Chain A
């Protein structure tokens, strides 16, 4: 232990006599570690907010769709287009499963340019559903009223608008009771949804919900193009009873296979997804990119390591005589190796510590001035330590071995 501190203090002495040089050497590590820490904490922050947002869509929903939620990998569009459409009747049947609390049909279409007097929204999502929409999607009708079963059954031209629509088209008055014009159809606004915020940077409040029965009137099924047949149509959003997600998935699969008359050897002709799967899809899509970003940042660590190696080689050359003297009075190769290794690891660790601090400040600054959120975990700090120690050892071992291997007589003669 004693020797250890002697070695540390000897190393520190070197840094004192070469202050600028030591700082410049450590700078490579400082930049490397701070970039990695900042990027990691921003990625972590992003992941967390996505997870929160996915949770906020509604709790533990199961989605029944005709097409996969995300087209990842090669998919046969023709096969998807040839599948039977999902229907509002499917939603009714699913609602009757014992594990299901409620299930709703949902159909939507992005529509451009919606106007009220001189105000205009460039694009809005028009959703057709039923009176259980707000319950399934954790939405609350803030002003006005929700749909009734009658509104749905009687194909009433009514709508509930998201807060984004309300704010942009009716900045100074209540939208309730006003009329919108969508493709020549008049839509009476009966309510406004409470604001929900953004999901993956997209506002979830830029939407208008109408009875699906009226939606069918505005957008009669055309089914001409293969793309439309594959991707346009009903999906069913299912809210399971408490803790019954797995049962719902099995129950719905069995029910839908029966309704579609699939024999046991046929594959499903529909897709079932959960929020958990959404999270997994998000992670799958982003993982490679995140690894690449961190890897690129780590390159600067390698550059910093090369800087350390360079300085250590200079230091070994400068102190050849010192090494000779130490060996002459009894230092073993191991002693010399340790001395120089301690030096490079110390240099890297000091750089690492400053880098961690800088990285945390950087992440904090970014989250203050930009919408990105930073989230710092303990493992990142450990990683920063570990990485800089590893760099110190990896790039310090060669100069240290070189020092240790010097012949004492030749080292003593060195001028």
Chain B
């Protein structure tokens, strides 16, 4: 097992949305640390701010106030280009609704982040094939998302998240759109990833899913209720 070191660190993170003229305080001062090989579940009811938190942690969104550090570097000092690079190589993200590009094959979807990492074509294909095989999709490589089942789509999405060897894999309700059997299979993959030394942070409202994790953080009304 790797030596545990802090990968990301959030201090007193707040996020306020404007829904028209109404301010919505999604996060009201959250402090959190993610270490190498952590397996974290963020739980909470709908509207508790758990999705907002994972979006900020994965640099898809920026906090209204508070400090967020990636390996001791303040994220608010990053340029757009640096943020794109962080999303590309530092993190992998798995969405509830898979978020695959419908016009691309499984192979092309998995290889997509490599394009933005300026990887050469042969290398892209080689890497994408090996990851797809690892996630059990060796025979689905040239299928498009509409030709695959939900479970298969989510495996493609996980493969895509893994392709650049990210430091942290984020997952937002990864089983939310799947039946319980398929959901369990997907959770097995996450368990295995953590066993292999990866770091996983996921959001869920399902206690049985959350129980896979080693750390469970409960959010309520934009603050951490308990850990």
Query: Is the C-beta of A332 less than 8 angstroms from some C-beta in chain B?
Result: yes
Query: Is the C-beta of A22 less than 8 angstroms from some C-beta in chain B?
Result: no
Interface string of B2-36 (1 = CB under 8 A from A): 00000000000000000000000000000000000
Give chain B nearest CB distance to A312 CB in angstroms. Answer: 18
Query: Is the C-beta of A168 less than 8 angstroms from some C-beta in chain B?
Result: no
Number of residues from A at the complex interface, CB < 8 A:
23
- Whether A2 pairs with B84 at a CB distance below 8 angstroms is no
CB-based nearest A residue for B80: A333
- Whether B61 pairs with A409 at a CB distance below 8 angstroms is yes
- Whether A330 pairs with B99 at a CB distance below 8 angstroms is no
Residue among A322, A330, A334, A408 with most chain B CB within 10 A: A330
> Quick one: which of B103, B113, B118 contacts A329, CB cutoff 8 A?
B113
Complex CA gap A92/B174 in Å reads 106
- Whether A326 pairs with B112 at a CB distance below 8 angstroms is yes
- Whether B87 pairs with A327 at a CB distance below 8 angstroms is yes
Query: Is the C-beta of A328 less than 8 angstroms from some C-beta in chain B?
Result: yes
Interface string of B103-132 (1 = CB under 8 A from A): 100000000110111101100000000000
Query: Is the C-beta of A292 less than 8 angstroms from some C-beta in chain B?
Result: no
CB-based nearest A residue for B102: A322
Residue among A6, A17, A329, A412 with most chain B CB within 10 A: A329
CB-based nearest B residue for A324: B99
Residues of A contacting B112 in the complex (Cβ-Cβ under 8 angstroms) = 326, 329
Query: Is the C-beta of A150 less than 8 angstroms from some C-beta in chain B?
Result: no
Query: Is the C-beta of B101 less than 8 angstroms from some C-beta in chain A?
Result: yes
Residues of B contacting A324 in the complex (Cβ-Cβ under 8 angstroms) = 99
- Whether B115 pairs with A325 at a CB distance below 8 angstroms is no
Query: Is the C-beta of B140 less than 8 angstroms from some C-beta in chain A?
Result: no
- Whether A329 pairs with B93 at a CB distance below 8 angstroms is yes
Complex CA gap A331/B164 in Å reads 13
Residues of A contacting B93 in the complex (Cβ-Cβ under 8 angstroms) = 328-329
- Whether A328 pairs with B87 at a CB distance below 8 angstroms is yes
Query: Is the C-beta of A13 less than 8 angstroms from some C-beta in chain B?
Result: yes
CB-based nearest A residue for B122: A2
Query: Is the C-beta of B220 less than 8 angstroms from some C-beta in chain A?
Result: no
Complex CA gap A8/B223 in Å reads 47
Residues of B contacting A334 in the complex (Cβ-Cβ under 8 angstroms) = 81
Residues of A contacting B55 in the complex (Cβ-Cβ under 8 angstroms) = 409
Name B82-98 residues within 8 Å CB distance of A.
84-85, 87-89, 93, 95
Query: Is the C-beta of A335 less than 8 angstroms from some C-beta in chain B?
Result: yes
Query: Is the C-beta of B60 less than 8 angstroms from some C-beta in chain A?
Result: yes
Complex CA gap A408/B56 in Å reads 11
Query: Is the C-beta of A250 less than 8 angstroms from some C-beta in chain B?
Result: no
Query: Is the C-beta of B160 less than 8 angstroms from some C-beta in chain A?
Result: yes
Complex CA gap A409/B61 in Å reads 7
A3 and B115 contact, Cβ closer than 8 Å, known pairs A327-B87, A328-B87, A328-B93: yes
A332 and B60 contact, Cβ closer than 8 Å, known pairs A2-B121, A17-B103, A409-B55: no
Residues of B contacting A407 in the complex (Cβ-Cβ under 8 angstroms) = 61
Complex CA gap A322/B89 in Å reads 19
Residues of B contacting A327 in the complex (Cβ-Cβ under 8 angstroms) = 60, 84, 87
Give chain A nearest CB distance to B123 CB in angstroms. Answer: 10
Complex CA gap A46/B207 in Å reads 84
Complex CA gap A397/B61 in Å reads 25
Residues of B contacting A329 in the complex (Cβ-Cβ under 8 angstroms) = 87-88, 93, 112-113, 116, 160
Complex CA gap A321/B102 in Å reads 11
Complex CA gap A407/B55 in Å reads 12
Residues of A contacting B101 in the complex (Cβ-Cβ under 8 angstroms) = 322, 325-326
Residues of A contacting B87 in the complex (Cβ-Cβ under 8 angstroms) = 327-330, 408
Interface string of A326-356 (1 = CB under 8 A from B): 1111111111000000000000000000000
Residues of A contacting B113 in the complex (Cβ-Cβ under 8 angstroms) = 329-330
- Whether B81 pairs with A6 at a CB distance below 8 angstroms is no
Residues of B contacting A13 in the complex (Cβ-Cβ under 8 angstroms) = 103
Complex CA gap A13/B101 in Å reads 13
- Whether A332 pairs with B116 at a CB distance below 8 angstroms is yes
Residues of B contacting A2 in the complex (Cβ-Cβ under 8 angstroms) = 120-121
A328 and B60 contact, Cβ closer than 8 Å, known pairs A13-B103, A409-B55, A412-B99: yes
CB-based nearest B residue for A6: B115
- Whether B84 pairs with A325 at a CB distance below 8 angstroms is no
- Whether A331 pairs with B121 at a CB distance below 8 angstroms is no
A325 and B80 contact, Cβ closer than 8 Å, known pairs A330-B85, A330-B89: no
Residues of A contacting B60 in the complex (Cβ-Cβ under 8 angstroms) = 327-328, 408-409, 412
Complex CA gap A327/B101 in Å reads 12
Name A364-415 residues within 8 Å CB distance of B.
407-409, 412
Residues of B contacting A331 in the complex (Cβ-Cβ under 8 angstroms) = 84, 88, 116
Closest 10 CB pairs of A and B: A330-B88, A332-B84, A330-B116, A329-B113, A330-B87, A325-B99, A409-B61, A408-B60, A331-B116, A330-B113
Taking A3-B115, A331-B84, A409-B61 as known contacts, 15 extra A-B pairs with beta carbons closer than 8 A to each other, sorted by chain A number, are: A2-B121, A6-B115, A324-B99, A325-B99, A325-B100, A326-B101, A326-B116, A328-B87, A328-B93, A328-B99, A329-B116, A330-B89, A332-B84, A408-B61, A412-B60
Q: List 17 A-B contacts (CB under 8 A).
A: A3-B118, A322-B101, A325-B100, A326-B112, A326-B116, A327-B60, A328-B99, A330-B87, A330-B88, A330-B116, A331-B84, A333-B84, A408-B87, A409-B60, A409-B61, A412-B95, A412-B99
Q: Could you list which residues of chain A lie within 8 angstroms of chain B, going by C-beta atoms?
A: 2-3, 6, 13, 17, 321-322, 324-335, 407-409, 412
